[in-house]
């Protein structure tokens, strides 16, 4: 079974996205802040990381940076799932190694699941 | 200022682009233009002076005085433009934060609704509906707060001041927060000295101030199950004190909760600021409550302040003018 790490501080999203992904047969690990997320990423080496950018303790950007700096986590694909849509934010996240950048408000839940599936197939 | 930073500061065109202001509004650019004008006019006045005035001391004085006047003028103009640019930058920053804050509950609701409509996970429906409700309440509260902020900024906080007993508002607030107090196992104490005098303020707005302060005290005492609470923060007492001062009535709300870290203290009354204390993540908030409360108290002729120690608790206090007998 493939494992997805979901780093997001909104409990409502942890629940909805978590439920949908579990229904699809993935094992979902959830982290409510950047620090816990990074710890899980290093400890459990998931197949994919879904990452919010506005997070307590460590921001999503910092998490991306630290994931890139570690050989163990460097190759894990990261989908950024956020409500920030400044061009600068998108550029920065992509430069820091995010594979896909999704703005929550512009996507249906089903589309997010599709993106996850595609990223896991590649 | 290091060199890299200096280079950034000197890149006027880049900066103007970054803050989205036209070049002629950029303070550094204006300063440069003013500088050139000053040098030109000083040189010119020197030559004119030498030609028409014989005493070299008078020429020198003339040039110096003229340069000084121009310099002061330039400084004033550049300063006012700087303020303008700052205000416009703050405004777009504000819009950015607001839309992000509104978007979060909205996108939550959208996805929850999508889940409900899909008909999957029927056994979890009740939970989803509850989440829907929580998120719409959150959005409504945020919009109310934002309307309040815009009224404050326009200077249009229409206060309907009258004489009333603050302890009456307090009892109302306490009874409306009763479910929250019970759920959090809070021991609430109200201490009043004698019979507190009536105050002169807007009872409805003061209701909001008391509600905000008391809710914060309860929220930041934390739930018993929160593992982050240090031993010192296990005391679940919230104490409210009403004290008469010379011309004011002082109200204090003291909790023994997580407190505010030293480095956050100076920002606590700024809008959108939320302290990075131990419970930041477990609690919801727009960061507007204390900004609004402070503005209401200020325009009621009172003062607001606080003392706090991380892991030991916070005491927020405010004063209101006593009604004339």
Q: Do B281 and A9 touch (CB under 8 A)?
A: yes
Q: Tokens in use for A121?
A: 């197939």
- pLDDT per position as a tens digit, A78-117: 999 998 888 888 999 999 999 999 998 889 999 999 999 9
The chain A residue lying nearest B101, using CA atoms, is A83
Q: CA–CA distance from B149 to each of A73, B46, B105 (Å)?
A: 44, 55, 20
Residue B195 in contact with residue B322, Cβ under 8 Å? no
* B275 pLDDT more than 90: no
What mean pLDDT is reported for chain B?
83
The last residue of a domain, from among B37, B64, B90: B90
- pLDDT at residue B25, rounded to an integer: 67
Q: Do B100 and A84 touch (CB under 8 A)?
A: yes
Of the candidates B141, B225, B144, B221, which has an alpha carbon nearest to the alpha carbon of residue B181? B221
- Per-residue pLDDT band for B283 (boundaries 50, 70, 90) equals low
The last residue of a domain, from among B153, B172, B193: B153
Higher pLDDT, A57 or A67: A67
- pLDDT per position as a tens digit, B73-83: 888 877 777 77
- pLDDT at residue B215, rounded to an integer: 92
* B181 pLDDT more than 70: yes
* B277 pLDDT more than 70: no
Pairs of CB atoms within 8 A across A/B? 54
Q: Are residues B192 and B286 in the same domain?
A: yes
Q: Do B108 and A105 touch (CB under 8 A)?
A: no
Neighbours of B229 (CB within 10 A): 18
Of the candidates A41, A63, A54, which has an alpha carbon nearest to the alpha carbon of residue A89? A54
- pLDDT per position as a tens digit, B62-73: 888 888 888 888
- pLDDT at residue B109, rounded to an integer: 93
ipTM given for this complex = 0.87
Q: How far is B160 from chain A (nearest CA, A)?
A: 38
CATH code of residue A32: 3.40.50.2300
Give the range among A37-41, B20-24, B129-133, B288-292 with minimum mean pLDDT: B20-24
Q: Are residues B141 and B215 in the same domain?
A: no
Q: Are residues B180 and B296 in the same domain?
A: yes
* B3 pLDDT more than 70: no
Domain span at A107: 3-121
- pLDDT at residue A49, rounded to an integer: 95
- pLDDT at residue B15, rounded to an integer: 72
Contacts of A10 in chain B (CB under 8 A): 104, 108
In a 3-state reduction of DSSP, which class is residue A47? coil
Q: Do A105 and B111 touch (CB under 8 A)?
A: no
What is the number of domains present in chain A?
1
Give me the mean pLDDT over the A18-25 stretch.
92
Residue A50 in contact with residue A100, Cβ under 8 Å? no
Q: Which residues of B touch A (CB under 8 A)?
A: 96, 100, 103-104, 106-108, 110-112, 114-115, 120-121, 124, 127-128, 131, 134-135, 276, 280-281
Contacts of A54 in chain B (CB under 8 A): 100
- pLDDT at residue B57, rounded to an integer: 84
Annotate chain B with three-state secondary structure: CCHHHHHHHHCHHHHHHHHCCCHHHCHHHHHHHHHHHHHHHHHHHHHHHHHHCCCHHHHHHHHHHHHHHHHHHHHHHHHHHHHHHHHHHHHHHHHHHHHHHHHHHHHHHHHHHHHHHHCCCHHHHHHHHHHHHHHHHHHHHHHHHHHHHHHHHCCCCCCCCEEECHHHHHHHHHHHHHHHHHHCCCEEEEEECCCCCCEEECHHHHHHHHHHHHHHHHHCCCCCCCCCCCHHHHCCEEEEEEEECCCEEEEEEEECCCCCCHHHHHHCCCCCCCCCCCCCCCCCCCCCHHHHHHHHHHHCCCCEEEEEECCCEEEEEEEEEECCC
Give me the mean pLDDT over the B73-94 stretch.
75
- pLDDT per position as a tens digit, B203-227: 999 999 999 999 999 988 876 555 4
* B107 pLDDT more than 70: yes
Closest by Cβ to B103, choosing from A23, A83, A86: A83
Closest by Cβ to B131, choosing from A12, A33, A110: A12
Q: Are residues B213 and B119 in the same domain?
A: no
Give me the mean pLDDT over the B275-284 stretch.
60
Give me the mean pLDDT over the B107-112 stretch.
92
Higher pLDDT, A45 or B285: A45
Q: Are residues B112 and B170 in the same domain?
A: no
- pLDDT at residue B298, rounded to an integer: 93
What is d(CA B273, CA B266) in angstroms, rounded to the nearest whole number?
10
What is the number of domains present in chain B?
3
The last residue of a domain, from among B90, B114, B134: B90
Domain span at B143: 98-153
Q: Are residues B229 and B282 in the same domain?
A: yes
DSSP class of A56:
S
In the block, tokens 């002076």 appear at: B49
pTM score, two decimals?
A: 0.66
Residue B149 in contact with residue B288, Cβ under 8 Å? yes
Q: Do B114 and A54 touch (CB under 8 A)?
A: no
The chain B residue lying nearest A110, using CA atoms, is B114
Q: Are residues B47 and B125 in the same domain?
A: no
Q: CA–CA distance from A72 to each of A38, A39, A44, A66 (Å)?
A: 12, 12, 10, 11
- pLDDT at residue A69, rounded to an integer: 92
Q: Tokens in use for A8?
A: 């997001």
Closest by Cβ to B100, choosing from A57, A83, A109: A83
């Amino acid at each position: 079974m493939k494992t997805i790490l979901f780093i997001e501080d909104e409990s409502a999203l942890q629940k909805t996205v978590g439920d949908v992904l579990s229904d699809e047969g993935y094992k979902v690990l959830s982290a409510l802040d950047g620090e816990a997320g990074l710890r899980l990423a290093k400890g459990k080496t998931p197949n994919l990381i879904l990452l919010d950018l506005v997070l307590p303790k460590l921001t999503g950007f910092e998490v991306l940076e630290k994931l890139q700096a570690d050989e163990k986590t460097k190759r894990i694909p990261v989908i950024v799932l956020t409500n920030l849509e400044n061009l600068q934010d998108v550029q920065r996240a992509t430069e820091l190694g995010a594979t896909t950048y999704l703005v929550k408000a512009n996507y249906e839940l089903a589309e997010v699941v599709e993106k996850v599936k595609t990223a896991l197939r590649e | 200022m290091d060199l890299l930073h200096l280079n950034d500061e000197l890149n006027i065109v880049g900066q103007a682009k970054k803050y989205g202001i036209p070049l002629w509004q950029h303070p550094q650019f204006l300063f440069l233009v003013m500088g050139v004008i000053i040098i030109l006019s000083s040189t010119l006045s020197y030559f004119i002076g030498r030609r028409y005035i014989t005493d070299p001391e008078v020429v020198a004085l003339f040039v110096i005085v003229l340069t000084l006047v121009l310099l002061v003028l330039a400084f004033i103009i550049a300063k006012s433009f700087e303020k303008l640019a700052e205000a416009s930058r703050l405004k777009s920053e504000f819009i950015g934060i607001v839309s992000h804050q509104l978007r979060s509950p909205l996108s939550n609701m959208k996805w929850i609704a999508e889940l409900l409509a899909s008909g999957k996970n029927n056994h979890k429906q009740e939970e989803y509906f509850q989440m829907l409700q929580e998120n719409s309440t959150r959005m409504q509260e945020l919009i109310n707060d934002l309307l309040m902020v815009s009224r404050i900024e326009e200077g249009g906080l229409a206060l309907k001041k009258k004489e009333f007993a603050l302890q009456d508002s307090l009892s109302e607030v306490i009874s409306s927060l009763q479910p929250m107090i019970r759920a959090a196992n809070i021991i609430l104490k109200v201490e009043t000295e004698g019979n507190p005098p009536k105050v002169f303020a807007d009872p409805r707005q003061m209701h909001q101030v008391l509600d905000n302060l008391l809710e914060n005290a309860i929220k930041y005492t934390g739930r018993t199950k929160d593992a982050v609470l240090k031993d010192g923060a296990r005391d679940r007492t919230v104490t409210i004190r009403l004290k008469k001062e010379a011309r004011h009535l002082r109200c204090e709300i003291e909790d023994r909760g997580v407190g505010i870290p030293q480095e956050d203290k100076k920002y606590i009354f700024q809008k959108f600021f939320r302290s990075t204390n131990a419970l930041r993540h477990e609690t919801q908030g727009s960061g507007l409550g204390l900004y609004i409360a402070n503005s209401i108290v200020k325009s009621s002729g009172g003062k607001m302040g606080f003392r706090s120690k991380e892991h030991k608790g916070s005491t927020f206090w405010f004063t209101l003018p006593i009604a004339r007998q």
